Amino acid sequence: MKTRSCNVALAICNVFFAMFLIMGQGAYAQTGDFEIETIPYPADVARVGANVSYTAPAFAELQRSISFEGQPRRYYLYAPATSTKAPRPAVLLLHGAQRSGRSMIDMWCQTADRHDMILIAPDSFGPSWSPVEDHPNFLITALRDANEQVPLDTSQLYLFGHSAGGILATLYANRVGTPWRAVATHAGILDASQVLPAQIAPPMRHYLGLNDHLFSGRAAQVTGEALSAAGHDVDLVMIRGHSRWYYEIGPHLSEAVWRYWQSLD
């Protein structure tokens, strides 16, 4: 088991190194801004107890099958039925560990309906996200397939991730940058040691509950400082009275994230 873990870690490092080389030797982004804000738990969102559970809707009609590197893969595509505009902004959504893209569609569909945006929510290859099996090109493959179904506004492609999905979203925003106009996460903090100077540095906002038992506010601040030094404009929003439970506050955060992204215009 130890040998296999070492091999996996080495493979991940090789992927990171290859991505770094692909970026080339061009100019890097200048140091970005870093701001920290503390907000109350939203009054209109129910507070959860200790024993909470969530089951995502089936959304069978939204499921699409694609192939990536010879493997069958799956994502969920949501487009508001009342939309009359094309192309439209799109958000690629990365779910938390042990979840699926269905959970992210559920958390974002109301915001998509209000603002006429497309949602693209892939499933990870395994129980959680991996930069080996879930290479950035897998996300691009899902985007391309979605664009064949409903035209996407390529100037307004956004990336959001929860928990493990948030960590991967931050990693790819820092290491690859494109095609994301901006990125946001909830309850997923990339280790600061993984941050590299960025040639393309999309702005980011990270939401973290002050009662999160996996990530401390201090760890989030250290990562935010590293991302800022790497060239990203970073907002860290700390939520009082919030843990890391996403499936009550999710629709509220989706609307807040969308407002943040639109404020960047």
49 belongs to a structural domain: yes
Domain extent, residue 87, equals 29-263
Task: Give residue 29's pLDDT.
Answer: 67
Beta-carbon contacts of residue 127 (< 8 Å; ≥ 6 apart): 97, 98
pLDDT tens per residue, the chain (265 residues)? 433 333 333 333 344 334 433 344 456 768 999 999 999 999 999 988 767 899 999 999 999 999 999 999 999 999 998 766 789 999 999 999 999 999 999 999 999 999 999 999 999 999 999 999 999 999 999 999 999 999 999 999 999 999 999 999 999 999 999 999 999 999 999 999 999 999 999 999 999 999 999 999 999 999 999 999 999 999 999 999 999 999 999 999 999 999 999 999 7
Task: Give residue 65's pLDDT.
Answer: 98
Task: Give residue 239's pLDDT.
Answer: 98
One DSSP character per residue, 163-197 reads THHHHHHHHHHHHT-TT-SEEEEES----GGG---
At residue 107, the 3 state secondary structure works out as helix
* DSSP bridge pairs for 207: 186, 237
6 belongs to a structural domain: no
Amino acid, single-letter form, for residue 109: C
241 belongs to a structural domain: yes
Neighbours of 98 (CB within 10 A): 11
7 belongs to a structural domain: no
Count the domains in the chain.
1
H or E segment and range at residue 50: none
110 belongs to a structural domain: yes
β 71-78/234-239 pair status:
unpaired
How many angstroms separate the CA atoms of 82 and 75, rounded?
A: 22
Instruction: Starting at the earlier edge strand, list the strands of the sheet with 234-239.
Output: 34-39, 234-239, 204-209, 182-186, 152-162, 88-94, 118-122, 71-78, 63-68
256 belongs to a structural domain: yes
Task: Give residue 166's pLDDT.
Answer: 98
Q: Is the C-alpha dihedral spanning 161, 162, 168, 171 positive or negative?
A: positive
Task: Give residue 16's pLDDT.
Answer: 39
One DSSP character per residue, 117-154 reads -EEEEEPPSSSS--TTTT-HHHHHHHHHHHHHHS-EEE
- For tokens 């493959």, what's the residue? 141
H or E segment and range at residue 86: none
Task: Give residue 86's pLDDT.
Answer: 86
Residue 187, phi then psi, degrees to nearest 5 = 60, 35
- For tokens 């907002």, what's the residue? 235
pTM assigned to the model: 0.89
How many residues would you count in the chain? 265
Task: Give residue 10's pLDDT.
Answer: 34
Residues 234 and 33 sit within 8 Å (Cβ to Cβ): yes
8 belongs to a structural domain: no
Task: Give residue 1's pLDDT.
Answer: 40
How many angstroms separate the CA atoms of 90 and 19, rounded?
A: 24
17 belongs to a structural domain: no
CATH code for the domain in which residue 138 is found? 3.40.50.1820
Task: Give residue 265's pLDDT.
Answer: 75
